[in-house]
Amino acid sequence: MKIPVTCNKDCGGGCPLLAHVEDGRVVRITDNPLRGPYMVGCARGYQMARVLYAPDRLIKPLLRDGPRGSGQFREVDWPQALDYVVEHLIDVTLRYGPYAILRLGGSGSCRGALHNTELLTQRFLSLFGGYTEVSGSYSSQAVNFTTPFVFGTKRAGIDPGTLQYSNLIILWGANIADNRLGCEMEARIREARRRGVPVIVLDPRRSRTAQTLGTAWIPVRPGTDVALMMAVLYVWIQEGLVDLAFVNKYSVGFEALCQRVLGQDGVPECTPQWAEGICGTPAEITLQFARLYGRCKPAALIPGLSIQRTVGGEEAVRMSIALQVASGNLGVLGGSSGGQTWSRLPGPRMPTLDVPRGNLPHVPVYRWPDALLEGTAGGYPSDVRAIYNVGGNMLVQGSDVHKNMRAFESVEFSVCHDYFMTPTARYCDVVLPAATFLERQDIVFPEANYLLFSNRAVPPLGQARTDYDILCDLSDRLGFGTEFSVGRDEEQWLRYLATNSDVPDYDEFRRTGIYLGQDQCRVGLADFYRDPQAHQLLTPSGLVELASETYAETGFSAVPECRILPIEPDYPLRLVTPKARYRIHSQYDNIPWFKQREPQVLWLHPVDAAARQVTDGEQVLVNSPQGYVRVPARVTQDVMPGVVCLLAGAWPRWNDDGVDCAGSANVLTSTVPTEPSQGSRTHSVLVQVQRAAGKA
């Protein structure tokens, strides 16, 4: 039997797949043949059966039976587990009020209409009577915060299909070959490259994208992109490459930006030589790049989310937009807005599970452990005593793992739904075994213009249950079961949601697994480009605000500026912590097939290695003010001098000295956010590296 399913992992993808089921088991997963020609899945979806049938998969509810973090649990039956949860949620709320429960979660299942780990938990806790919510996004907080000041909207993305019209593609901190950022993106770029289109990759390391998709790699130190972007604009101004008619028609603030770039009030001229000192990018390369970019149209600038997960990342966002405006590429087929590539444009209508929106206290997600540890005394809106975690491995994925452990230790009660005994689950009091996407059905939202139906390939393994079923049972016990489920099971929900959608035939949708929206070449802000008067932006001027007085009200400069974290004598290396190819964040780290394909190592340039007498393969100690990690060094020219790289997502393994010997990147990161967005800055981390011999 071949069953259309959807990989709903958080790569922007939503990949249409086919589960091959024999004798009640998923034996293989391939692409759904009814997909579009450029839609291809990847190992993380094709190999999902390894997750489904992993020997360490949780299949029974567990209650903690030893100290937090010890991993000692005992199996209980479902009624016992659910009664325990109900009793403790009520107890905490009676004693401390409703806001004492913090909702945590992450990218677990964030693309489903029904089995959406965030919406489900929000709905449940809202009906329970309230909770403390985390606001913002680990992924894209700085760009989400900043873009509305510039465009009046966040919705300024592109469809990958439009790349067929591009004559230049710039992947600015976007590692498409590993991270995907949508199901089609990689194949579309590959196709453009075959047409002879230059694909320029700007990254502190020669990523797989630089190796396999790029026609050129331009190294740039992490967190310094804004300076390089200013130098590009400088060259354009000097060489008459600015599209002034475009700038005047569509934007305000260009003059102020020019003044900044040309140097004024003690701010230096942003020449390529100036940028070289900051970015480490040779001035000659910047000059050539600026000329190519200024002349080759249309040009699609595809920024990764990486450039805004840095200190001052807000400014990189503003400058990348400014470049697309100054070069006349905004709103144009084959161009892009320079804002988030990953920002859903209006697509086929399909509602999701709704959440009663109350007036809840919020804490910025990047600061959740601070909110737990400091509470109202530290200026946070509530004192949290319990954690409800669904679809997140926050202890590992949140910055500063040591702090996260303290935060989990500080609460009186914690629950987790997951597939595995993750490091976060180990710190919880109750761990409930959840079903994977192969064991349930859902409607899934990809980034591009289509919807996917994911059928149930097999029933849940053992006693695992869907998050929806778990929360239905808890709601029943708490007396609001009818409000939570509205009497609908999974199938009834999906049929109900589809009734109010653009999908004309639910059964056909379910059978094929895919519904394509009409326009596969949507361009963000295309209406505004066609007629800026009739489609004014929701900014004070109605135009793109390259300088923004409203933004200045946040306490930062109206004009984009360089706010770059300086290195410190004790921590002279800049660490980046990008995504692994064979993990989704921390997911799959426990599955040997994936683990074997990507050893957890510290990338270190030969110059930095020699200065520390480190040889390739040798164990090194990496430390920041937050902690120590011990991993083998990979001495390589594929990372810039002065920069080191450790992929995010490894589950920590502590030795007796409190050193993590697995290489968990967030042992080194801090919860101090980038301002004013309060976003993550996991690519602005300063560390020192030394030989590990005798140290750990």
Ligand X SMILES: Nc1nc2c(c(=O)[nH]1)N[C@H]1C(S)=C(S)[C@@H](COP(=O)(O)OP(=O)(O)OC[C@H]3O[C@@H](n4cnc5c(=O)[nH]c(N)nc54)[C@H](O)[C@@H]3O)O[C@H]1N2
Q: How far is the CB of 359 from ligand X (least distance, A)?
A: 26
Smaller CB distance to Mo ion: residue 35 or 103? 103
Kindly state whether residue 455 participates in binding ligand X, applying the rule CB under 6 A.
Answer: no
Residue number, nearest CB to Mo ion? 139
The Cβ of residue 472 has, within 10 Å, a number of other Cβ atoms equal to 20
Kindly state whether residue 305 participates in binding ligand X, applying the rule CB under 6 A.
Answer: yes
List the interface residues with ligand X, window 408-427 (CB under 6 A): 417-420, 422
Kindly state whether residue 434 participates in binding ligand X, applying the rule CB under 6 A.
Answer: yes
List the interface residues with ligand X, window 531-590 (CB under 6 A): 576-581, 583-587
Q: Based on C-alpha coordinates, what's the Rg of the chain?
A: 25
Instruction: Return contacts of 403-410, CB within 8 angstroms, 24+ apart.
Output: 403/369, 403/370, 403/373, 403/626, 403/671, 404/369, 404/666, 405/69, 406/369, 406/373, 407/368, 407/369, 407/372, 407/373, 408/68, 408/69, 409/68, 409/69, 410/372, 410/373
Smaller CB distance to Mo ion: residue 139 or 341? 139
Q: Choose among ligand X, Mo ion, none what residue 168 binds, the Cβ cut-off being 5 to 8 Å by kind.
A: none
SS (H, E, C) 94-144: HHHCHHHEEEEECCCCCCECCCCHHHHHHHHHHHHCCCEEEECCCCCHHHH
**Contact pattern from residue 339 through residue 378 relative to ligand X, giving x for each residue in contact according to CB under 6 A and a dash for the rest:** ----------------------------------------
Distance (Å) of CA 72 to CA 75, 120, 361, 421, 425: 10, 28, 33, 10, 11
Kindly state whether residue 404 participates in binding ligand X, applying the rule CB under 6 A.
Answer: no
Kindly state whether residue 225 participates in binding ligand X, applying the rule CB under 6 A.
Answer: yes
Choice from 32, 121, 139, 677 touching ligand X (CB under 6 A): 139
Please report how the helices 467-478 and 78-96 are oriented relative to each other, as an axis angle in degrees rounded to 10: 60
Kindly state whether residue 203 participates in binding ligand X, applying the rule CB under 6 A.
Answer: yes
| H or E element, residue 575 | strand 573-576
β-pair partners for 430: 63, 415
Phi, psi for 394 (deg, rounded to 5): -65, -25
Smaller CB distance to ligand X: residue 537 or 645? 645
What are the start-end ranges of the E strands in 166-233?
A: 168-172, 199-202, 216-218
Q: How far is the CB of 57 from ligand X (least distance, A)?
A: 10
Kindly state whether residue 109 participates in binding ligand X, applying the rule CB under 6 A.
Answer: yes
Q: Choose among Mo ion, ligand X, none what residue 198 binds, the Cβ cut-off being 5 to 8 Å by kind.
A: none
Q: How far is the CB of 328 from ligand X (least distance, A)?
A: 23
How many residues are recorded in the chain?
696
The pair of structure tokens assigned to 519 is 């326009």
Smaller CB distance to ligand X: residue 258 or 564? 564
Tell me whether residue 349 is exposed, middle or buried, using C-beta atoms within 10 angstroms of its C-beta: 0 to 12, 13 to 18, 19 or more: exposed
Choice from 36, 223, 294, 460 touching ligand X (CB under 6 A): 223
Kindly state whether residue 306 participates in binding ligand X, applying the rule CB under 6 A.
Answer: yes
**Contact pattern from residue 307 through residue 346 relative to ligand X, giving x for each residue in contact according to CB under 6 A and a dash for the rest:** x-xx------------------------------------
Query: Which residues make Cβ contacts (< 8 Å) with residue 364, sequence separation at least 6?
Result: 134, 135, 136, 141, 673, 678
Q: How far is the CB of 42 from ligand X (least distance, A)?
A: 8
Q: Choose among ligand X, Mo ion, none what residue 205 binds, the Cβ cut-off being 5 to 8 Å by kind.
A: ligand X
Tell me which DSSP letter residue 332 carries. Answer: S
List the interface residues with ligand X, window 463-482 (CB under 6 A): 467
Choice from 86, 119, 150, 174 touching ligand X (CB under 6 A): 174
Q: Please check whether residue 85 is in contact with residue 415, taking contact to mean a CB–CB distance below 8 angstroms.
A: yes
**Contact pattern from residue 672 through residue 691 relative to ligand X, giving x for each residue in contact according to CB under 6 A and a dash for the rest:** ----------xx--------
Choice from 125, 300, 390, 430 touching ligand X (CB under 6 A): 390
Smaller CB distance to ligand X: residue 547 or 583? 583
Q: Choose among Mo ion, ligand X, none what residue 669 binds, the Cβ cut-off being 5 to 8 Å by kind.
A: ligand X
Q: Which of 683, 690, 678 shows the shortest CA–CA distance to 668?
A: 683
Kindly state whether residue 114 participates in binding ligand X, applying the rule CB under 6 A.
Answer: no
Q: Choose among ligand X, Mo ion, none what residue 335 binds, the Cβ cut-off being 5 to 8 Å by kind.
A: none
Query: Which residues make Cβ contacts (< 8 Å) with residue 40, sequence separation at least 6?
Result: 15, 31, 183, 184, 186, 187
Distance CA(282)–CA(385), nearest Å, equals 52
Choice from 157, 182, 253, 391 touching ligand X (CB under 6 A): 391
Stretch that binds ligand X, among 28-36, 61-69, 176-184, 556-564 (CB under 6 A): 176-184
The helix, strand and coil proportions of the chain, stated in percent and rounded to the nearest 5, come to 35, 20, 45
Q: How far is the CB of 222 from ligand X (least distance, A)?
A: 4
Stretch that binds ligand X, among 293-301, 388-396, 494-502, 554-562 (CB under 6 A): 388-396
List the interface residues with ligand X, window 639-678 (CB under 6 A): 648, 665-666, 669
Query: Which residues make Cβ contacts (< 8 Å) with residue 89, sequence separation at least 6?
Result: 101, 128, 386, 388, 413, 478
Q: How far is the CB of 665 from ligand X (least distance, A)?
A: 4
Q: Which of 636, 559, 664 shows the shortest CA–CA distance to 219?
A: 636
Tell me which DSSP letter residue 571 carries. Answer: B
Smaller CB distance to ligand X: residue 134 or 220? 220
136 alpha-carbon distance from chain centroid: 12
Smaller CB distance to Mo ion: residue 327 or 577? 577
Distance CA(587)–CA(168), nearest Å, equals 34
Residues that bind Mo ion (CB under 5 A): 139
Largest CA distance in the chain: 74
Name the residues that contact ligand X, by CB under 6 A: 10-11, 106-109, 115, 117, 138-139, 172-175, 178-180, 202-205, 207, 220, 222-223, 225, 304-307, 309-310, 390-394, 397, 417-420, 422, 434, 467, 576-581, 583-587, 648, 665-666, 669, 682-683
